[in-house]
Amino acid sequence: MKIKIYRGTKEIGGTCVEITADNGKILWIDLGVPLSTTNPDTSYRNNKVDALLISHPHQDHFGLMESVGSEVPVYIGQVSEDLIKATKRFLGIDPPLCNFQRLTPWKEIKILDTFKVYSYLVDHSSPEGLAFLIEVDGKRVFYSGDFRSTGRKGFLYDRMISNPPKNINLLLIEGTMVERSKQEYETEAEVERAITDIVMNQQNMTFVVSAAQNIDRFCSVFTACLKANKMLIIDVYTAFVLELVSKMSNRLPTIDAHRILVYNPKSQMDKVTEEEFVDFVTRVNTKALHNGVFVKPEKFVYFLRFPQKKFVNALFTTNKNNVNLIYSQWGGYLKERYKVPSTDTINKLKVQKNINFSHIHTSGHAPVEELIELAKAISPEKIVPIHTENPTKMKLEFAAAGLANVELWDDGLEYSL
């Protein structure tokens, strides 16, 4: 077996790993869009590949998957596939022309009559994050994907520590948090408490800026609204996402929940005009946002991806109190290097005198201590850092904890196992 990491040995995002079996069959793990523009070369995406695994529906892991063409099988979880298609739908982009095949957590499949793949569901800021155990040519590789222990599925991390995969020859383990400073909020429970405190005491509307697909964060905001007796406003896209993810968990609140209202602009409603969405559209219209938001804005919380400055300022016409703006995403997105569409708007609003700005967020990634704990539990022959900006620091941290089998690989080089 031979392994090549096309990118990810010294950066976060753009992950792509290649495993070549002795019979020549080639399996890729993830094919993501790079987060940084430092190295724009993604020409490797046009290389020969026989099958592709997608660990979860974040752009830095799946964003280039259509490059493999419509013939190569792309193995992915059902919820992940649905969420990717939903994003493209609401962006007005055609659905991906991929040969999707199904991955199911806790089940083994055989790919190309060559690779045995077992999928582990992990705790991450995506509702369906997977880690993979891949067996081929008598060797076993464990790919951690993105994971943590501090979210609403933290029990999955505990389960893996108590019953880890055995006889692993190579552990490819993410190291996102190695270079990032200690978080003010370490767990989703702490995030929920902080948001609840603000919502309980709000004198005007509260805006929570977060990714619609961060279901843990949505649940934290929804719970805060229940405790504070507030109404939660979501948009049509978020409502659509909740419908999809509720297939995975019937305990997830949807638009039918008592405290939810839906902002339903025509631009979003035009994305769900097909007959199959008649029931969804009817339910959205039944829960449509009303003008009460301007009469008593202190009764409402808005969970959204992009605050409209005009709407925010309009709230001051009937309520002169400050509006709360909670930024609930990675702080790096507010910097020029990782700029996103909402960056300029947030940065302007956060310094406005009648805005109470808070950054309340916890990462979807494990801190170094948990990376070490997992590596010790798995006890592989070799450990290779991936999805990290500082593999050297990661190696030193692991060595200090008694793990001397960390190897630092380079992008684009082939290694034998």
Extents of the domains making up the chain: 2-180+364-416, 188-359
CATH topology of domain 2-180+364-416: Metallo-beta-lactamase; Chain A (3.60.15)
- Do the Cβ atoms of 17 and 386 come closer than 8 Å? yes
CA dihedral 100, 102, 105, 109 (to 10 degrees): -120
- Token look-up 């035009």 returns 270
Amino acid at 32: G
What is the model's pLDDT at position 339? 86
H or E segment to which residue 192 belongs:
helix 188-200
- Do the Cβ atoms of 191 and 358 come closer than 8 Å? no
- Do the Cβ atoms of 341 and 245 come closer than 8 Å? no
Give CA angle at 7 (389, 386), nearest 5°.
50
- Do the Cβ atoms of 234 and 263 come closer than 8 Å? yes
pTM score, whole prediction: 0.94
Q: Distance from CA of residue 46 to its chain's centroid?
A: 25
First-to-last C-alpha distance (Å) of the chain: 6
- Do the Cβ atoms of 382 and 397 come closer than 8 Å? no
What is the model's pLDDT at position 180? 73
Q: Output b/e per residue, 90-127; b: 16+ Cβ within 10 A.
A: beeeeebebebeebebeeeeebeebbebbbbbbbbbbb
For residue 304, report the phi and psi dihedrals to the nearest 5 degrees: -150, 170
What is the model's pLDDT at position 181? 64
Q: Which two tokens stand for residue 326?
A: 């909670």
- Do the Cβ atoms of 164 and 378 come closer than 8 Å? yes
What is the model's pLDDT at position 267? 95
Distance CA 220, CA 243 (A): 18
Q: Which two tokens stand for residue 76?
A: 């992915």
Q: Would you give per-residue pLDDT tens digits along the chain (417 residues)?
A: 999 999 999 999 999 999 999 999 999 999 999 988 788 899 999 999 999 999 999 999 999 999 999 999 999 999 999 999 999 999 999 999 999 999 999 999 999 999 999 999 999 999 999 999 999 999 999 999 999 999 999 999 999 999 999 999 999 999 999 987 678 999 999 999 999 999 999 999 999 999 999 999 999 999 999 999 999 999 999 999 999 999 888 889 999 999 999 999 999 999 999 999 999 999 999 999 988 899 999 999 999 988 888 899 999 998 999 999 999 999 989 998 888 889 999 999 999 999 999 999 999 999 999 999 999 999 999 999 999 999 999 999 999 999 999 999 999 999 999
**Beta strands 139-143 and 129-136: pairing type?**
antiparallel
CATH topology of domain 188-359: Rossmann fold (3.40.50)
Distances (CA, A) of 159 to 4, 156, 256: 30, 5, 33
